C-alpha cells in the first residue's frame, strides 16, 4: 500500500549541497539576514580592499594637514596628526575583523568541543567542569582581561588569548544546553544502543544538529568580541598606535569631538554598523534555522 506523497522536491544528489542551498534560500528570504550579512560582507570587502580604495597611508603624519574639516581631498577631514580619517576608518576594519574573528573562532571552537563532550559524558566530569566554568564565569571578564593583558603585555595574540579565556565558558554553557537538547533524542539513543563511541556520536549525531546554534552563537559572540576589543583599545589595553583601530581612534579623538566630529563619529559608525551587521546576521541565521516545522515537515 502506498502512502500519500506530500509533494516533496525532486531527489537532490548531494544532501550537503542541498542543505546549503536551502539555507541560502531561507536567508535570502529574510530581510534581516540579508541586511546583516550584507553589512558584514561590506566590512570584509572594505577591509580586504582597503589599499585599493584609498591611496593615502593610514599612518603617515602630515603636520601641514592636521585638523582639517571635510573637503574634497579628505572626505571626512584629518585628525590631529594630519592623517586622513576616512583612510584610517577603512583600514581600521582590518584590525577589528582579524582580531575579533580569531578570538571568536578560538572561543567557539574550544567551547563547542568542551560543551558537547561534557553534555554527552555527563556524570562527574560534567559536574566538575561546570563547577570550574561557573567559577571562571563568576570573575568579571574585564578584570580577567586586564590581568591577562598586564601579565602578558598587550598585543593581538594576547588579546585573542584573553578573549578566548573569558568567553569560552559562556560558549560551553550555550553549546552544552543545545547538546543536552539533542542528547535524549531517539536518533542519539539509537546510536547508543548500537554501542557507538562517544566521539562518533558527537561528530555524527550531535554536532550536525547543533551547528545552527553554534553559528548563531558565533555571530552573536563576534559582535560582543568586537565591542569588547574596542573597549580594551579605549582603555589603552588594545592596539598600539599608530594602528588604525576604531576603539583607539575614538579614544584618541573623542576630546576634540566638538570641533572635529567626524574623527570620532566615523569610527563609531563603522564599529556600530559592524556590530549591527553581526547582530542582524545572528538574528537572521537563528530565524532561518530555527527548525520551523510548519515549513520543513509536510
Partner 1 sequence: MLLYTCRRLLSAVLTVVLSAVLVFAAVQLLPGDVATQVLGQDATPEAVAALRDQMDLNRPAAVRFLDWIAGAARGDFGLSPVSGEPVAHTLWPHLRNTVLIAVSTIVVAVTASVVLGVLAGLYRDRWPDALISTLTLIGMSVPEFVMATLLVLLLSITVPVLPAVVLDEATAPVADLLPAVVLPTIALSVVMTAYIVRMTRTSIIDVMAGEFVTTARLKGISTVRLVVRHALPSALLPTLNVIAMNVAWLVGGVAVVENVFNYPGIGQLMLESVHNRDLPVLQAIAVISALVYVLCNLAADLGAMALNPRLRTGGGSKR
Partner 2 sequence: MNTEHTGPLVRVENLSVAYTSEGADVPVVRGVSFQVRAGRTLAVVGESGSGKSTVAAALLAHLRHGSRVTSGRVELAGQDLFGLDPVAVRRLRAHDVALVGQNAGHSLTPSMRVGAQIEEALLPQRLPRHERRAQVLDLAEKVDLPAPVSLLRRYPHQLSGGQQQRVAIAMALAARPRLLVLDEPTTALDVLTQARILDLVADLSSELGLTSILVSHDLGVVSRMADEVLVMREGAVVEQGSAQQVLTAPEHPYTRLLLASVPRLEDRGLIEVDQDGIRAVRTRTPVPEDAPEVVSLQNVTIDHGPTRAVDGVTLGLRRGEVLALVGESGSGKSTLAWSLAGLHAPSSGHMRLQGRTEGDLDATARRRPLDVRRRVQLVFQNADTSLNPRRAVREAIRRPLRFFGGLSRREADGRVHTLLSDVALDPALSGRLPGQLSGGQRQRVGIARALAGEPEVVVADEVTTALDVSVQASVLGLLEQLREERDLAFVFISHDLAVVRGIADRVAVLRHGRVVEEGPVEAVFSGPNHPYTRSLIDAVLDPSDAHGPEPARTHLSPELPSDTGDDPVWLDLGAGHRIRRRGSGPETTEAT
Partner 3 sequence: SRTGAEAASSVPEGAATGTPADGGVLRIARPPASQAETLDPADSLSAYEYLGALYNRLVRMDENGETVPDLATDWESDDEGTKWTFRLREGVDFHDGTRFTSADAAYTLRRILDPDLASPQATVLTPLLSPEGVHTPEPGVLRVELDTPNFEFPALLTNYHCYVVPEGSGGSIGESGIGTGPFRLENFSPGGRGRVVADEGHWEGRPVLDAIEMFAMTDIQARTNALLAGQVDLLSQTNLDFATARVVAASDNATIARSVNAQWYVLPMLTTAEPFTDARVRRAMKTAYDPVHLLDVALQGTGVVGEDNPVPPETPYWTDHSLERDPERARALLSEAGHEGLQVDLYTSTYDPVFTPMALAYRDSVAEAGIDVRVRNASADSYYTQIWMQRPLMATYWYTGRPADQLLNQIFRSGSSYNETAWSDPDFDDLLDSARSTADGDRRRRLYQDAQRLVVEEAGAMTPMFADRLVGLSREVLNYHESGFEFDYLNIGLRP
Could you tell me which of 23, 93, 54 has the C-alpha nearest to residue 296?
Answer: 23
Query: Residue 120: CB partners within 8 Å, gap ≥ 6?
Result: 179, 183, 198, 201, 202, 206
Interface pick for partner 1 out of 42, 198, 257, 289 (rule CB under 8 A): 257
Could you tell me which of 249, 230, 228, 226 has the C-alpha nearest to residue 88?
Answer: 249
Interface pick for partner 3 out of 42, 44, 67, 276 (rule CB under 8 A): 67
Q: Does 63 participate in binding partner 3 (rule CB under 8 A)?
A: yes
> Cβ of residue 86: shortest distance to partner 1, in angstroms?
19
In order of 54, 100, 144, 146, 185, the CA distances from 151 in angstroms are: 38, 21, 11, 8, 45
Taking the C-alpha atoms of residue 126 and residue 144, their distance in angstroms, rounded to an integer, is: 24
Task: Map residue 211 onto helix, strand or coil.
Answer: helix
192 binds, among partner 2, partner 1, partner 3, none (CB under 5 to 8 A by kind): partner 2
Q: Does 281 participate in binding partner 1 (rule CB under 8 A)?
A: no
68 binds, among partner 3, partner 1, partner 2, none (CB under 5 to 8 A by kind): partner 3
Q: Which stretch binds partner 2 (CB under 8 A): 61-69, 103-111, 200-208, 279-287?
A: 200-208
> How many residues belong to the chain?
298
Could you tell me which of 263, 258, 224 has the C-alpha nearest to residue 244?
Answer: 263
Site string for partner 3, 123-162 (x = CB under 8 A): -------------------------------x--------
User: Which residue, chain included where needed, has cell 561534557?
Assistant: 118
- Applying CB under 8 A, the residues found at the interface with partner 2 are 1, 3-6, 8-9, 11-15, 18-19, 29, 185-187, 189-196, 204-205, 208-209, 211, 291, 295-298
- Applying CB under 8 A, the residues found at the interface with partner 1 are 131-132, 134-144, 146-147, 150-151, 223, 227, 230-231, 234-235, 247, 250, 254, 257-258, 268, 271-273, 275-276, 279-280
Amino acid at each position: 500500500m502506498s502512502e500519500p506523497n506530500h509533494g516533496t522536491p525532486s531527489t537532490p544528489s548531494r544532501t550537503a549541497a542541498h542543505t546549503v542551498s536551502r539555507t541560502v534560500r531561507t536567508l535570502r528570504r529574510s530581510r534581516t539576514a540579508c541586511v546583516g550579512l550584507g553589512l558584514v560582507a561590506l566590512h570584509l570587502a572594505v577591509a580586504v580592499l582597503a589599499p585599493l580604495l584609498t591611496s593615502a597611508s593610514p599612518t603617515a603624519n602630515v603636520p601641514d594637514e592636521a585638523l582639517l574639516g571635510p573637503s574634497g581631498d579628505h572626505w571626512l577631514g584629518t585628525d590631529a596628526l594630519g592623517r586622513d580619517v576616512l583612510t584610517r576608518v577603512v583600514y581600521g576594519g582590518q584590525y577589528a575583523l582579524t582580531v575579533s574573528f580569531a578570538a571568536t573562532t578560538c572561543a567557539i571552537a574550544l567551547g563547542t568541543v568542551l560543551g558537547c563532550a561534557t553534555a554527552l559524558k555527563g556524570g562527574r566530569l560534567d559536574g566538575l567542569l561546570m563547577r570550574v566554568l561557573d567559577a571562571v564565569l563568576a570573575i568579571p571578564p574585564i578584570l580577567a582581561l586586564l590581568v591577562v593583558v598586564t601579565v602578558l603585555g598587550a598585543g593581538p595574540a594576547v588579546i585573542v588569548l584573553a578573549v578566548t579565556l573569558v568567553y569560552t565558558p559562556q560558549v560551553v554553557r550555550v553549546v552544552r544546553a543545545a547538546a543536552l537538547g539533542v542528547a535524549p533524542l531517539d536518533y542519539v539513543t539509537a546510536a547508543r544502543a548500537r554501542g557507538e563511541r562517544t566521539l562518533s556520536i558527537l561528530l555524527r549525531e550531535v554536532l550536525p544538529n547543533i551547528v545552527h546554534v553554534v553559528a548563531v552563537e558565533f555571530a552573536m559572540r563576534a559582535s560582543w568580541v568586537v565591542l569588547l576589543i574596542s573597549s580594551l583599545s579605549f582603555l589603552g589595553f588594545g592596539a598600539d598606535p599608530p594602528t588604525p583601530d576604531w576603539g583607539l581612534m575614538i579614544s584618541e579623538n573623542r576630546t576634540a569631538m566638538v570641533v572635529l566630529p567626524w574623527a570620532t563619529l566615523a569610527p563609531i559608525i563603522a564599529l556600530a554598523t559592524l556590530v549591527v551587521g553581526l547582530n542582524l546576521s545572528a538574528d537572521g541565521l537563528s530565524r532561518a534555522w530555527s527548525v520551523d516545522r510548519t515549513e520543513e515537515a509536510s
